[in-house]
Chains A and B, each alone.
Chain A
Amino acid sequence: MSGAMNREGRPTRPVEASEAGRAVTATVTGNRGLTVEEPLIFEQDNPGAIGVDLPEPPHVRSRLGAVRPRGRIGLPSLSEPQVVRHYTRLSTRNMGIDTTMYPLGSCTMKHNPRLNEKMARLPGFADLHPMQPMDTVQGALELIDQLAHWLKALTGMPAVAMTPAAGAHGELCGMMAIRSALEDRNDPRRRVLVPESAHGTNPATAAALGYTVDSIPADARGRVDLEAFKAKLGPDVAAIMLTNPNTCGLFESDIVAIAEAVHEVGAFFYCDGANFNAIVGRVRPGDLGIDAMHINLHKTFSTPHGGGGPGAGPVVLSEALAPFAPVPAVVHGPDGRLRLVEHAEGDFAKSFGRMKGFHGQMGMFVRALTYILSHGADGLRQASSDAVLNANYLLARLKDVMTPSFDGPCMHEALFDDRFLKDTGVSTLDFAKAMIDEGFHPMTMYFPLVVHGAMLFEPTESESKETLDAFADTMRALVERAKSGDAGYFQGAPYHTPRRRLDETGAARNPVLRWQPDMPAREAAE
């Protein structure tokens, strides 16, 4: 690439590390064209300005009781244009799926269709109060019921709990159902088996519920070590929490044997469904012998990730666990009307209770059902096929220059470790930061923990072949550069972002978690 010229006849060679930060001629403002500095909203206080029009309140006798009215709060005052510009400028400092390939492994950063957003904003959904009489919300209950039907059909499971607010909340739900079932048969147990490669939420959930977490090693093929697993099984095991496809991007080929062994000792099989996007429409987890699985609607069914939520984590359940599912739940009444059961009573007397306010993440349900209806049974199968194809294509394009951790085809994500960077002085983190300068969001780094310096790529079905090729070409060029002894370049990256590497250690040592009026407006500007 070095020495190439662009159309304006200027060299396009990469910036050298020694020039970092000085490569661009300093501007008066510190801005760089489209990259504009934006102070905190609190530093833009414009007393007298206001961004809303509210009428003068009618004069009434206060009924606030003995509490004295509060004094000044300290919120800044701004007009609407100032607020709109502030947030628009902030938005330009983010990468999103809309702007670039975002192959964050295990997060399924796929396209978010805008029809989903439009449907969620229909007043018939967005403007419904959760406590309206049930006769006035029959369409909303029908939507929840339809989505539940799809989730059961796609997983091959008989029941689903719709209310959990996110994947981790779904894990809590599934594991509480398991504990309830064990207590119901007077068989409390103490241990939960969790593979080393599991998401951190798995052991955190099991531990929160009072279980001892017993870690199962991976074998040389990146799967659960079947012998080690069987050796750990016993009558005190409540459950295994297993992600499938697992976090190495591999299908657990012994899963049926694992399920049988788990059931033989009277334990339950909790499946972490974070990676369901690999198999939707091709494999029903119910056919593999699972007892519970959460489904991240924000991953597989493309409700937007929104900068870290809100998500939704419905949990499919086996017949044995279904009676313990949380309330509220939608049921069909004898008159053909739908009804919400809001308390643990009647047919739901065994329900373990309520996990959150109201009835679940309705806005996410609308988006997920819209996505599912758009794709249909055929389109969902095509999506998972393409997701797996894209990951394997990336693997094929990179396996000769990078180091795949395991043999064989992967599922929807490809795992590499940092052996290919050995003796280069470049770490997984440095490599990721250099990818940012190339305009790509990095893969998941240092997870799973079972390989050294992990790099987990999940391209999803939303990327075109052209993008995958451009990405693979870039990765290959970066590998070559890393191997050429240019470690300094990587260690200094990124250079072309609104902020360069941030001091995370300093942030944790002396936590500054809010703005204070006496804070210096700008710390040591460049």
Chain B
Amino acid sequence: MRYPPLTDADRREMLAAIGVGSVDDLFRDVPAAAHLDGPIEGLPLAKSEMEVERIVGALASKNLPAGSVPCFLGAGAYRHHIPAAVDHLIQRGEFLTSYTPYQPEVSQGTLQYLFEFQTQVALITGMEVANASMYDGATACAEAVLMANRLTRRKKAILSGGLHPHYRDSTALLGRFIGFDLVRPDPDPQGGEDLVSLIDEETSCVVVQNPSVFGQIRDLTPLAEACHAKGALLIVAISEVVSLGLLTPPGEMGADIVVAEGQSIGNALGFGGPYVGLFATRQKFVRQMPGRLCGQTVDADGRRGFVLTLSTREQHIRREKATSNICTNSGLCALAFSIHMSLLGEEGFRRLAELNHANAVLLADKLASVPGVEVANDSFFNEFTVRLSKPAAEVVDRLASADQERRVLAGVPVTRLYKNRPELAGLMLVAATETNTEEDMDALVEALREELR
């Protein structure tokens, strides 16, 4: 076995120093009936690196990597190019194998990148401050509603019909268990819902996604004004953070809290996780913000340094009075985000967003020419909804199971995201990113032309 540093001779010497005859003696507080005498039966024994690589590799090879065929899947997770330096740097052992920076003198590396990460998130969202990250976009959204409830001392949240169903469900779950009311309008593929008329004096917040899960973009300024007129807060959720390279940031449209899924920058698709939730707000709300925060300070010699701060909000200090039960953040994913964002810089981030939008426009124009395909959006960033003449789930499955050279991951059937919504059966979400070539797009067009004939 390659991992234990202790040899049998070491173990004998150590047991003698402790003054016991065997390791079993150290487990004497375990009730005898619960003590196992040997390895649990029916489970495999230790394996060499080579053997494990073969077994796990065989599982991997049963999957179809998204990049091996033209892929247009989005719905909250996007396939972007990640510069090679990102993955190399996050595997530096001092980043990979450290923990929460409880001892700041030997954690300045982590703390400085978190401070830089917080600054990047604040800048791209157009907000004043950001935290050191959350589990993902959906959990960040749920925490944002809790924060709005604390700030307004109200208990009614309005969740837009354009909000990603996973964000809606994760938030609704806390609503049910933590106790707040929810207003949930129907799914809104056209982006025409009227949220303003739903806001009243009991409303704590309105949660709206931009672009919506169906891809629609809207100017949120009137909604922000309507919220503020009634003393409610506007929470803006973003599932494709690359859009912020091109769109007016929520902060400029009057958002009070911005939550986002940061996966698109620096983090692989990874079958859905781990991802990184972004969370930004205004300076005046910072003491009600959940999650870890890194702040600037000075050391005993007066030099600039960084520490975790405002931890009096957190569970390890406040216990049952904490703002949230969250203990960690998504540190390494935040680092990947931050490195990728540093490589992009001002020009690269904008260029990336422009490329995504341009590819999506090209794709939408091509798809619009296919009989049986109707592009439903009047506006979009890099993802839009199409209405097919056949049920989207069946179309997607068939195109994914074609021969390798004709295989396409066409899009996400909307019914996969919603329970019991047969009226949405024809809808499919289609995303294009900088990774899609024109040949990819033509492959999708041809496949759909054939399928919908």
Interface membership of A230, Cβ < 8 A: no
Q: Produce 1/0 per residue, B406-433, CB < 8 A to A.
A: 0001001000100110000000000000
| Bound: A67/B261 CA distance, A | 21
| Bound: A306/B110 CA distance, A | 9
Shortest Cβ distance from A144 into B: residue: B271
Are the CB atoms of A80 and B57 closer together than 8 Å? no
Known: A91-B109, A379-B46. A281 touches B325 (CB 8 A): no
Are the CB atoms of B302 and A83 closer together than 8 Å? no
Shortest Cβ distance from A171 into B: residue: B325
Interface membership of A243, Cβ < 8 A: no
> Which residues of chain B from 83 to 125 have a CB within 8 Å of any chain A CB?
83, 85, 87-110, 112-113, 115-116, 118-120, 122-124
6 closest cross-chain pairs (CB), A and B = A65-B379, A124-B60, A358-B272, A139-B62, A98-B93, A306-B332
With A363-B270, A396-B19 given, name 5 new contacts (CB 8 A): A50-B347, A287-B34, A310-B135, A373-B55, A461-B3
Are the CB atoms of B61 and A354 closer together than 8 Å? no
Residues of A within 8 A of B315 (CB): 168, 200-201, 203-204
Interface membership of B6, Cβ < 8 A: yes
Residue in A76, A119, A256 whose CB lies within 8 Å of B31 = A256
Are the CB atoms of A374 and B52 closer together than 8 Å? yes
Interface membership of B198, Cβ < 8 A: no
Residue in A121, A308, A363 whose CB lies within 8 Å of B292 = A308
Residues of A within 8 A of B116 (CB): 40-42, 515
Residues of A within 8 A of B360 (CB): 63
Residue in A84, A376, A497, A499 whose CB lies within 8 Å of B43 = A376
> How distant is A375 from chain B, measured CB to nearest CB, in Å?
6
Are the CB atoms of A374 and B96 closer together than 8 Å? no
Residues of B within 8 A of A201 (CB): 315-316, 325, 327
Shortest Cβ distance from A358 into B: residue: B272
Residues of A within 8 A of B85 (CB): 51, 80, 83-84
| Bound: A260/B113 CA distance, A | 49
Are the CB atoms of B348 and A366 closer together than 8 Å? no
Residues of B within 8 A of A42 (CB): 116, 119
Shortest Cβ distance from A311 into B: residue: B328
Are the CB atoms of B302 and A523 closer together than 8 Å? yes
Residue in A131, A179, A355, A378 whose CB lies within 8 Å of B412 = A131
Interface residues on B, range: 35 or more
**Which of the 9-residue segments B7-15, B154-162, B199-207 touches chain A?**
B7-15
Q: Produce 1/0 per residue, B1-37, CB < 8 A to A.
A: 1111110001101110111100101111111011110
Are the CB atoms of A69 and B106 closer together than 8 Å? no
Are the CB atoms of B269 and A138 closer together than 8 Å? no
Q: Produce 1/0 per residue, A333-365, CB < 8 A to B.
A: 000000000111100000011111111111110
Are the CB atoms of A131 and B73 closer together than 8 Å? yes
Are the CB atoms of B112 and A90 closer together than 8 Å? yes
Residue in A51, A66, A501 whose CB lies within 8 Å of B344 = A51
> How distant is B60 from chain A, measured CB to nearest CB, in Å?
3
> How distant is B364 from chain A, measured CB to nearest CB, in Å?
7
> Which residues of chain A from 256 to 308 have a CB within 8 Å of any chain B CB?
256, 279, 281-284, 287-288, 304-308
Are the CB atoms of A67 and B303 closer together than 8 Å? no
Are the CB atoms of A409 and B20 closer together than 8 Å? yes
Of listed A63, A126, A447, A504, residue having the most chain B CB within 10 A: A63
Are the CB atoms of A393 and B14 closer together than 8 Å? yes
Known: A366-B56, A514-B118. A96 touches B35 (CB 8 A): no
Are the CB atoms of A507 and B309 closer together than 8 Å? yes
Residues of A within 8 A of B416 (CB): 131, 342
Jot down 26 A-B pairs with beta carbons below 8 A, ordered by A: A59-B358, A87-B92, A88-B89, A91-B93, A91-B95, A92-B109, A98-B93, A98-B96, A124-B59, A140-B59, A210-B177, A210-B179, A253-B29, A305-B97, A307-B331, A312-B274, A353-B176, A356-B166, A382-B4, A386-B4, A389-B6, A390-B6, A444-B102, A445-B102, A500-B300, A513-B309
**Which of the 9-residue segments B74-82, B181-189, B225-233, B442-450 touches chain A?**
B74-82
